[in-house]
A and B are shown apart, each in its own frame.
Chain A
Amino acid sequence: MVDLARVQKELQECNRDVEVSGIRVSPKADSLTNLVGTIPGPLGTPYEGGTFKIDITLPDGYPFEPPKMRFATKVWHPNISSQSGAICLDILKDQWSPALTLKTALLSVQALLSAPEPDDPQDAVVAQQYIREQNTFVNTARYWTEAFAKTSSLGVEEKVQKLVEMGFPEDIVRSTLEAVGGDENLALEKLCSA
């Protein structure tokens, strides 16, 4: 059974210094076993300025088993799958310790963003690019950050305007944006496929 008392404590603790760390953890629905964490992209990296969402699922054995974490925001990084968002990080696997918390694990993920490990890749394509064409890698990573990790920073009106400029009728844009919860990329996908 998941130690819910501990999870609750962790959430409180994490939300207490959210201004300092920038790391947020909140429950997805009523259940405390499905959570969403957000981390700011580290400064001085191609991920700077982005806000990355991470899906967290707590297994039954938590905290004696590591939490399952996956990037919900698309990210271009050698140790994170560009397709599924799977994270390759030792502390989320065999190096997990029950003294680690969701916050410390997210901090480690944030550190992973600023220090890629191309020798132990999760996404071979990205890792190849990182090793061979560093400039292209930085540009792609920055572009992905701009495209996928910054949407929430725009206001609703700006998003609407952006999509209207692309040639979609305003009322459909508004309803579609509402339907997907304000994510302009998802809205764009939906509008295109409609």
Chain B
Amino acid sequence: MSRKSVLCKFFAHGACLKGDHCEFSHDWNDPQNNICTFYQQGACAYGSRCRYQHVKVSRSQSSVSNHPQYLQSEPILAGHPSGASSVVTGHASGVTTDSSLSSRSLLPTDKQPWGEMVGQEVISDISHIRERSCNPADRPICSLAATGHCHRGEMCPHIHGDLCPTCGQHRLHPFRPQEREDHFKSCQRSQKHLEALMHSDEIECSVCLERVLSKPKAAERKFGILSECDHPFCISCIMNWRSSSPSSGMDVNSALRACPICRKLSYFVIPSGIWYSSKEEKQEIVDRYKSKLRSIDCKHFDFGNGACPFGTSCFYKHAYRDGRLEEVVLRHLGAEDGQTVIVKNIRLSDFLSNLQIR
């Protein structure tokens, strides 16, 4: 199995630092390497509880495997660096240290690109690496220098990155403009998030009078943003209020669905881990929330088997089993009193009620 056709595990978690230079595939259509390397070697301590597949793969399928230790053991699949490392962390450490030590001693000294993460990776094609290293854009960034000090200094085979003004680390690759740009963006995003979090930390819920982000239960440390006004509440308080049964004379729209402070009517509440400081930020939170819900199938619609009471205003996805989205044709009926009534399906009740359809 070629590496390029195996989905990168780091990419799958949204955290591959190598970008275009990753030797694994960044295409969601490619399968993930889900095979347990410990099972391959003979014994997996997790047994049937292992998250990885317990299958034997013949040696013909493995592309990289001239490491002596691997030769001694059962035939294995090409070591996926990320897969191997995540398996290692989850498994008994005895095996890990053995193999990583021996593999390190055999590794060419100029190829340890991703520090600990790829300690398991077995690279045999030294000439290939040398050739690659000639082009500075192909040389990976030095992770030691990025986080602090690289003792190899000028002798380091890896590129020492430029200083990123936002995170203050040497993480900008001098010869990969795309990667620089990506890092720059993600760094600024996380910086912004951190600032927002600091700002949100101060904010109190007006109902329980507690700081929302310091509530005792982790699940309650969330804001409930009202769509129409900017008063802060924690999600549990505002949902509790909106779902409380109206006492006598209480109107659902003017009392329960209104903001407890300014009494402005809001039709929905958006949960959010952070509070916003500008209109644009609020819109961004709302849009993100809505797009997330749009990807979830509506349980009322139930792939066309059920009827969703929210109809076209539903935030969830209305799609049939074959992936086709629901198409709604709204019919505008002129009522006798001159008003227009919008109906979805023709129901007997349309005719039975005193609504007169022209």
Show the binding face of A for B, using Cβ within 8 Å: 3, 5-6, 9-10, 13, 61, 63-65, 93-100
**With contacts A94-B249, A98-B260, A99-B207 known, what are 11 further pairs, Cβ within 8 A?**
A3-B208, A6-B207, A6-B210, A93-B247, A93-B249, A94-B250, A94-B251, A94-B255, A95-B255, A98-B206, A100-B260
A120 to chain B, nearest CB (A): 13
By a CB distance below 8 angstroms, the chain A residues around B250 are 94
Q: Are B208 and A6 in touch, CB under 8 angstroms?
A: yes
B261 pairs with A64, CB closer than 8 A:
no
Closest residue of A by beta carbon distance from B246: A94
CA distance A96 to B256 in the complex (A): 10
Name the residue on B nearest A100 (C-beta).
Answer: B260
Q: Which residue of B lies closest to A3 (CB)?
A: B208
CB distance from B201 to the nearest CB of A (A): 18
Taking A64-B241, A64-B244 as contacts, is the C-beta distance between A97 and B255 under 8 angstroms?
A: yes
Contacts A9-B209, A99-B206 given: A94-B248 contact, CB under 8 Å? yes
CB-based nearest B residue for A64: B244
CB-nearest residue of chain A to B250: A94
Binding site for A on B (CB under 8 A): 206-210, 231, 237, 240-241, 244, 247-251, 255, 258, 260-261, 263
Instruction: Give the CA-CA distance A93 to B248 in the complex, in Å.
Output: 8
| A97→B263 contact, CB < 8 A | yes
Which residues of chain B are near A63, meaning CB under 8 Å? Answer: 207-208
Tell me, in angstroms, the Cα distance from A98 to B244 when the chains sit together.
11
A-B contacts, 12 listed (Cβ < 8 Å): A5-B208, A6-B208, A9-B210, A10-B209, A63-B207, A65-B247, A95-B255, A96-B255, A97-B255, A97-B263, A98-B206, A99-B206
In the complex, which residues of chain A have a beta carbon less than 8 angstroms from the beta carbon of B231?
99
Contacts of B260 in A (CB 8 A): 97-100
Write out the residue numbers on chain B whose beta carbons fall within 8 Å of the beta carbon of A98: 206-207, 237, 241, 260
Chain B nearest CB from A64 CB (Å) reads 5
- Residue pair B244, A61 in contact (C-beta under 8 Å): yes
Interface SS, B side: loop
Determine which of B210, B248, B251, B261 lies in contact with A97 in the assembled complex, contact meaning CB atoms within 8 Å: B261
B249 nearest in chain A by CB position: A94
Expressed in whole angstroms, the Cα–Cα distance for A65 and B209 within the complex equals: 16
Measured in the bound complex, the distance between the Cα atoms of B261 and A98 in whole Å is 8
A118 to B231, alpha carbons, bound, how many Å? 35
How far in angstroms is the closest Cβ of chain A from B36? 49
CB distance from B138 to the nearest CB of A (A): 59
Tell me the complex Cα distance, A5–B210, Å.
9
Q: Which of B206, B210, B247, B261 contacts A94 (CB 8 A)?
A: B247
Interfacial chain B residues near A3, Cβ < 8 Å: 208
Q: How far is the CA of A83 from the CA of B116 in the complex (A)?
A: 81
Q: Which of A6, A95, A98, A100 gathers most chain B CB within 10 Å?
A: A98
Give CA–CA (A151, B263) in the complex, Å. Answer: 40
Residues of B within 8 A of A13 (CB): 209
Which residues of chain A have C-beta atoms less than 8 A from B208's C-beta?
3, 5-6, 63
Contacts of A95 in B (CB 8 A): 255
How many angstroms between the C-alpha atoms of A61 and B250 in the bound complex? 15
Complex alpha-carbon distance, A128 and B297, angstroms: 62
- Cα distance, A3 to B208, chains bound together (Å): 8
Minimum C-beta distance from B124 to chain A (A): 64
In the complex, chain A residues whose CB is within 8 Å of the CB of B209 = 6, 9-10, 13
A141-B154 Cα distance, complex, nearest whole Å: 93
- Which residues from chain A contact B247 at a C-beta distance below 8 Å? 65, 93-94
- Rounded to whole Å, the gap between the CB of A108 and the closest CB of chain B is 15
Provide the bound-state CA to CA distance between A3 and B216, in Å.
Answer: 14
Q: Which residues of B contact A93 (CB under 8 A)?
A: 247, 249
A10's closest neighbor in chain B, by CB? B209
CA distance in complex: A5, B216 (Å):
12
Chain B residues whose CB sits within 8 angstroms of the CB of A5 once the complex forms: 208, 210
Chain B residues with CB below 8 A from A10, complex form: 209
Complex A-B, nearest 6 residue pairs according to Cβ-Cβ distance, in ascending order = A99-B260, A94-B249, A97-B260, A98-B207, A94-B250, A99-B261
Q: Which residues of the other chain, B, contact A6 by a CB distance below 8 angstroms?
A: 207-210
A13 to B231, CA, bound (A): 20
Q: Which residues of B contact A100 (CB under 8 A)?
A: 260
Closest Cβ neighbor of A99 among chain B residues: B260
The smallest C-beta distance from B250 to any residue of chain A, in angstroms, reads 4
Q: Once bound together, how far apart are the Cα atoms of A94 and B256, in whole Å?
A: 10
The complex places the Cα of A130 from the Cα of B215 at a distance, in Å, of: 50
